[in-house]
Amino acid sequence: MILNLNKPIGWTSFDVCKKIKSITKEPKVGHGGTLDPFASGVLIVGTGSDTKALDIFSNKNKSYRASIALGVLTNTLDIDGKLIMQKNVPKLYKEKIKSVLSSFIGEYDQIPPMFSAKKVNGKKLYEYARKNITLQREPVKVKIHSILLESYSKNKISFSVTCSKGTYIRVLGKEIAEKLGTVGHLDRLIRTMVGEHNIKDSQSIKTFEKSWKSFTQARK
């Protein structure tokens, strides 16, 4: 079974898999691409023998809507992190913001953040980061297919982006802020699409649980 679920804010991707495992009693449950706890949106979950197909979803292009809180940098590059730097925000102009966003279109080398599940020497980077250890990370080639400005105010920019697998939107947000002459972190992230799977078709975990109970009762 392949599920298109809308991951709630505050849950890890593992939390979602654990919940689906408890609902379905399937011993094997996995997901096709991690979403950070502060993020919500499309999480593809597979159960049983369908977990073998999850790599297909991990490799698909993904789309997001995000907003950057400018002038404040956190250690995790998102709203859950600790404040590590503040900087004045220059006056923003629509054309300037659009120019900065469009400068990311195409392939570029992105350095994975320390607070990530990427493994180095058999350990996840966030395990080092939690001990205040910073490692040299190899840049990863990613591709931004499209990026559009949705709105902006004095200290905030909202945008939508479609990108290749392995792209860290938290890092992209930090880099956008730097190109605008300040610092920033993501205070909102919604994954709206994984391949052809759209958030419009995503089920909440509660909805799935109700339908699963109805399904199992009907089979008795």
Kindly list the catalytic residues: 36
Amino acid in position 152: Y
Q: Which residue has the tokens 């419009």?
A: 200
Q: Are strands 2-7 and 123-124 parallel, antiparallel or unpaired?
A: unpaired
What is the spatial distance between Cα 191 and Cα 198, in angstroms, rounded to a whole number? Answer: 9
